Structure 1
């Protein structure tokens, strides 16, 4: 019996207020640092001040002499204890055979070498390889004592040659960082048809080109990484309390590091104060406190300070691209060719951003042929990993900038050039230049919606008004499509309590996405119960048997499928009980609007059935099990959310300051479960993408290898006053690869935001010959671009131009 019906929805598609918000805003949330255990001790890290250095010796005597210090651990202790290096994405997904099981493109090294990770020890035994890497850990009675003792650990370093720039790391004379990775190359792969692409470019009448660096950024989560580890000598079980995208992944990775069966590890998380990818992978500090708890015989807690987070969190983006777009005289796109160089950082943690980006370089456009070379370079910087929308904002940025550059160089209208080359609804399913098959979409429809919302046609009058005030207005458009996959396996369990509650157990954590509400909307809709009768459990591996986590826009897309099937199992079991007590065949029992009927005179809710099971000892043994349903599913298909953004900016020519005047975003999510939550995700994602376009930048000094943006005094973030009120709309073209038509909805705001802002600013300055400005578009960069292109001396204030 299927739980879905043709009745109007009570909850699905409704803008329900988030049920978790009252708990969180009143301080009743429980985040990682809130966990405390009897006998709790505290850890502090000793971090390397050098980009690359040999560890000659570590003296711990002064630290150990400080009252309250319990232990000091070094890389040699880690090796002696038999702890394994961290397990990263490449181990889990790097082989071609493993990649074939998913819907993403397959990246293989052109040399034939397997894709493997650098050895990532919890503490380096011999060489530290980026500034801020932990080289020792102190455990003490209090956090203050631990920090004081950390300053007393005397590490003798021998500085070694280093490189922090990815392009420079590939030069023949660059220092060799890992023996296992000649030339500092972690991966070098080709996607597409290189020969056919080169042939098109050789004869193309028009070629637009772009060299750009999509700069490195970091998550700056409100809650920094934090963890508490404990060990029970009687059960020989380790326990870790730490926020993440999903506890199951940390359980498996931690068991591998500790060298114990997964059954000996329990991971618990409750509320997670932001993630964006920085907490997906197990980090060294989490493994260290778990192991140290056994060594000192007491629980150990570590919480990152903001400076530590900047220095040691997994970071994002950092992609250098050379791209070319071939066109004919009518503006038809003929071919795309790019070389993408990703800065992997000191450890090769993940190839997913490079892979995702390479698969979507052609974006929403019908380009007959293309070629992408995807290179990952190892450098002496903090490692990069999947960061909100992982590789897709970079790809969309490049393509959308190329379209605007082509229009500006060759005299095409920006909108008509896009319209001419969009994939049309009749072309679906459509296979792009990387071999990825888009399932469905209306790309022109969402672009037209964004143009309408921003009042594109009314822009010339607004631009003229700004000119009269000595300012310049610009307007931009950016289309996008994503591919979302993620860990392919997910499971839901539903337990019906006779007292009127349903427990939903599922292995994907919320870090602000509102799962307690949206998952409950699905379950309550299908079961015909109240929203507040659903209780979510997602953060305890002793309760979960599997879970892929909240990554790559997979949560709702997977959850709605497994919840629906688990509900069907509940209804099937309940129908058998109703059939028995009413004396009818189970096939005669119907279910609709939360009611099981055997006849017009006999109606039962699921809670009635749960009470029957509890209270009727005369039921046959096979019907006495508590009312329960589960579904475990392996997802092999991808999802392709799409949309468009338009924005308008105003540039102060005297200072280079850019004001974001208006922004509109349209996102197609297939089927919206909660539009209110989706609007919040879009707005938050837009701000995060705009932050990169406008102000955010992780900077390493090339001369010293030092992190220059190690605090919020140096790393800029947007404020509420930085952005206007957002105009957001949802499009719903059902996804054909999801039974409920759901696409992903958490990353679409970020994906086109980089491109739409830069497109708008360049449009404002096109009269000065400005064709491109590298992100972030700070006032200094914008001011310099105006002066450089206008050929003006640097001390001239553009007074004459302002009044033109």
Structure 2
């Protein structure tokens, strides 16, 4: 076995750079004559802009220029587009008002940028920004999506008939109604999926400069893919050929979906650099991040589940109001609709389903993809609903799930929404998780908790996700003069360990030392194409492309070795990086072959594209146990087991890290995270970490993560299924089902996320008051 090949828990090579302070992030990059930006942001959630006076700011020391929306409009700069659009149920297009880089006529959420000050240093820019005077005509704001769809609601955007962005439907509504009418029992639930902020360690940043030799605008930024960003900048915003831009993404300190997108700050800073022909930089602070980063989730949902007398599901119906915020963000319309719909019935054999989603504008920050992007929302809904149905039918949650799992023998299986799963054994994953969690011993653990004055609950959640994003990925492998191999790939690391896992794949397939493989990504000048990171696609896409490119390198090297060894190419055996003539001891290693090719002026250099035949479907089961202090309402997770089917695992250590991070974010949403706006003013009330609850190390628990590789997928060249978002998808429902299990045992009702101490305490108090009465 290769020391650092596929399947090995190799320590991440990039960590030494990060831990010793040698990471290179966007804010670390500066140029001679660098200018800095500060944005003037609206203090109002809704207002008309009557006038913007920039005279005092422009005259301030160190200020080079002040720009407003009128300047960008005059130069024909486009706004930030809504790329993914959906159709209304009647076939018409959705409503998508323009989102400007700098608001010129009106502002639609608190924190929206109105002007940009460019100065010689960041302090001067911030000081001058305070001198910009904006005359606002404040208007009423609406932040609650349910109120925003009422007939007499304040309209967010002037000139639009309502706050409805789209009214979308999918499924077989008539068949669902028939099945519900015939059902032995129908169970209903109302769910709030709370709004959250992604909060990556590194805030958004952009640094744009003009290359003196090529004339290109070079954009350094922290995102999730250089090629997609360049395409939108060129096509939709500046309306120039793509080769006018070079986009570079150095080290990136976390993204979680919200760094996929083009933001107004990108457009404004790049505009300033092109206009002034000077390097221009902006790095956001934490307050700006909380105000203006794309938020996640924020859904209000009513769902119904039909069951027959044997407990089998007969129909599933979902009606959701999705808060899109003030604008339709890049993929904002897709997240609660098509991204969620394909897996709406998840791992269950439900014959018919129907979905109805209304996307609604409010005076809040735009909402878009956050880790999982639609799949956590769908999974949370059905897993909560199934626990409710189990109580209504007198069955255990585990039993009701077992009755309704899609059987492994039914694979490939096309679900009620038309999505085909290629493989999976959901009942097996449940049994593995429950055995590891010692479900049989829970009653005794609950008794022990009660003896300490604590409430104890257990919850489980099966999950499935599908890997999305660009279905193509190209990889180029090039041997260098020093005998090393460079792997050029178009995905983008946000801290997941790509430099390590990609090198492992290449090292094994090329039979060369792991240390002699270097991975290059994040630069449109060096990497021709790429789909970036998102949708849990990176390893299963790039790894598959690395396999194809490696095989092409080996075949070319085989012909060179055959000529040198005076043997037929088909008689050569390639193993552990060495070509050997079958039945002899004649041979030569890959490095020697690469040197021959290099000396001949035709180095080993091959590119191949992996075209994914179908999505992959990671799946598994989470089991959580919590203890609740009834005197304070504080919830403490005390046991947590995860059984995951990710197909072939390249690096177990990295995969477990991805699951741990995902569970931490799910736990955060379940217990404390909540982006809250004041209903009257539209002001963000959680605009700092003093107000926005974030999980700390003490809030986490040891995770017993079990990785199973006995069901690889044929949709990936490596048999891998993706893992980046799975932890988040399973965590929220498992934790909330555990909390509600404890509460209901005490006579309290179910609660929604976040299960803060105040909310839990109030539910217990209400139950005690009712019991006393």
What's the secondary structure of 2:729's corresponding residue?
A: coil
Alignment check: 8 A CA contact 1:356 1:483 kept: no
The equivalences for 1:7-46 within 5 A come to 11-46=5-40
Distance 1:372 1:710, change over 3 A: same
- In the other structure, the counterpart of 1:99 is none
- Three-state SS of the structure 2 residue aligned to 1:187 is strand
Which among 419, 443, 451 is matched to residue 434 of structure 2? 451
Structural mapping, 1:664-683, within 5 Å: 664-683=641-660
Residue 89 of structure 1 corresponds to 83
Structure 2 counterpart of 1:465: 448
Q: Does 1:66 align with 2:60?
A: yes
Tell me the distance in 1 between the aligned counterparts of 2:678 and 2:408.
48
SS at match of 1:629: strand
State the match for 2:116 in structure 1.
137
Q: In structure 2, what is the equivalent of residue 98 of structure 1?
A: none
Match of 1:500 among 468, 478, 483: 483
| Superposed CA offset, 1:138-190 (max 9, x none) | 00011001000111100111112332122221111122334676432222221
Match of 2:189 in 1: 210
Question: Is structure 2 residue 676 aligned with structure 1 residue 699?
Answer: yes
Give SS of 2:297's match.
strand
State the SS of the aligned residue for 2:16: helix
Contact 2:626–2:739 (CA under 8 A) maintained in structure 1: yes
Q: 1:117 to 1:235 in 2, by over 3 A?
A: farther
Whether the aligned pair in 2 keeps the contact of 1:109 and 1:189 (CA below 8 Å) is: yes
Indicate the SS of the match to 1:57.
strand
Alpha-carbon displacement from aligned partner over 1:448-484 (angstroms, at most 9, x marks no partner): 1211222111111111111112211111111001112
CA shift, 1:717, in A, is: 0.6
Residue in structure 2 matched with residue 605 of structure 1 by the alignment: 589
Matched residue SS, 2:591: helix
Distance 1:739 1:633 in 2: 8
Aligned: 1:245 with 2:230: no
Question: Which residue of the other structure, out of 286, 290, 299, is the alignment partner of 1:319?
Answer: 299
Cα distance in 2 for partners of 1:784, 1:212 equals 18
Find the counterpart in structure 2 of residue 637 from structure 1: 614
- Deviation of 1:604 after TM superposition, in Å, equals 2.4
Task: Give the whole-Å Cα distance in 2 for the aligned partners of 1:646 and 1:614.
Answer: 55
Q: Distance in 1 between matches of 2:595 and 2:353?
A: 62
Rounded Cα–Cα distance in structure 2 between residues aligned with 1:613 and 1:654: 74
Aligned residues of 1:485 and 1:637 also touching (Cα < 8 A): no
Q: 1:222 aligns with which of 178, 181, 201?
A: 201
- Asked if the contact 1:498/1:607 (under 8 Å) is kept, the reply is no
Tell me how large the CA RMSD over aligned residues is.
1.8
In the alignment, structure 1 segments of 5+ residues that lack a partner are 1-6, 95-106, 617-623, 799-804
Query: Shift in Å at residue 490 of structure 1?
Result: 1.1
Deviates more, 1:354-363 or 1:194-203: 354-363
What's 1:724 paired with? 701
Deviations 1:732-765, CA, capped at 9 Å, x for gaps? 2111322321101111111011111111011112
1:353 paired to 2:340: no
Q: Is 2:105 aligned against 1:111?
A: no
Aligned residues of 2:612 and 2:715 also touching (Cα < 8 A): no
Once the two structures are superposed, the pairs formed by residues 379-390 of structure 1 within 5 Å of their partners are: 379-390=362-373
User: 1:234 Cα shift?
Assistant: 5.5
Shift of 1:68: 0.3
Helix, strand or coil at the partner of 2:382 = helix
Give, in angstroms, the shift of residue 317 of structure 1.
0.6
CA distance in 2 between counterparts of 1:267 and 1:38 reads: 19
Structure 2 counterpart SS, 1:326? strand
Query: Shift of the alpha carbon at 1:115?
Result: 4.5
Q: Does 1:763 align with 2:741?
A: yes
Contact 1:522 1:560 in 2 (8 A): yes
Which residue in the other structure is 1:401 paired with?
Answer: 384
Question: In 1, distance between residues paired with 2:313 and 2:597?
Answer: 65
Q: CA deviation at 1:601?
A: 4.8
Alpha-carbon separation, structure 2, partners of 1:525 and 1:238:
39
Shift of 1:231: 1.6
Contact 2:95 2:164 in 1 (8 A): no
Aligned mates of 2:316, 2:515 — CA distance in 1: 51
1:42-96 deviation per Cα after TM superposition (whole angstroms, max 9, x unaligned): 1000001111111110000111111100110100001011111223432xxx3xx
Say yes or no: does 1:534 pair with 2:514. no
Hey, what's the Cα distance between the residues in 1 that align with 2:388 and 2:291? Answer: 36
SS at match of 1:316: coil
2:74 to 48, 69, 80: 80
Displacement, 1:791? 2.3
Per the TM alignment, residue 414 of structure 1 is displaced from its structure 2 partner at its CA by 1.5
For residue 399 of structure 2, what is the aligned residue in structure 1? 416
Question: Once structures 1 and 2 are overlaid, which stretch shifts more, 114-123 or 278-287?
Answer: 114-123
Q: Structure 1 segments of 4 or more deviating over 4 A?
A: 7-10
Distance in 1 of aligned mates of 2:746 and 2:567: 82
Provide the C-alpha distance between the structure 2 equivalents of 1:182 and 1:239, rounded to a whole number of angstroms: 41
SS in 1 for 2:335: helix
Correspondences of 1:578-617 after superposition (within 5 Å) = 578-598=561-581, 600-616=584-600
Task: Give secondary structure in 1 for the equivalent of 2:339.
Answer: helix
Between 1:226-235 and 1:734-743, the stretch displaced more is 226-235
| Structure-1-length-normalised TM-score | 0.93
**Alignment size in residue pairs:** 767
Task: Write the distance in 2 (CA, Å) between the matches of 1:181 and 1:549.
Answer: 35
More divergent stretch after superposition (292-301 vs 304-313): 292-301
| 1:88 and 1:281 in contact (8 A); partners too | no
The answer for the alignment partner of 1:328 in structure 2 is 308
Describe the SS at the equivalent of 1:576: helix
SS of aligned partner of 2:118: strand
**1:634 and 1:736, CA in 2 relative to 1: closer, same or farther beyond 3 A?**
closer
Residue 362 of structure 1 and its aligned partner are, at CA, apart by 1.4
Deviation track 1:635-673 (CA, whole Å, cap 9, x = no partner) reads 351111101100111111111111111111111101101
Deviation of 1:585 (Å): 3.7
Deviation, structure 1 residue 792: 5.3
1:556 equivalenced with 2:539 (yes/no) = yes
Contact 2:490–2:530 (8 Å) recurs in 1: yes
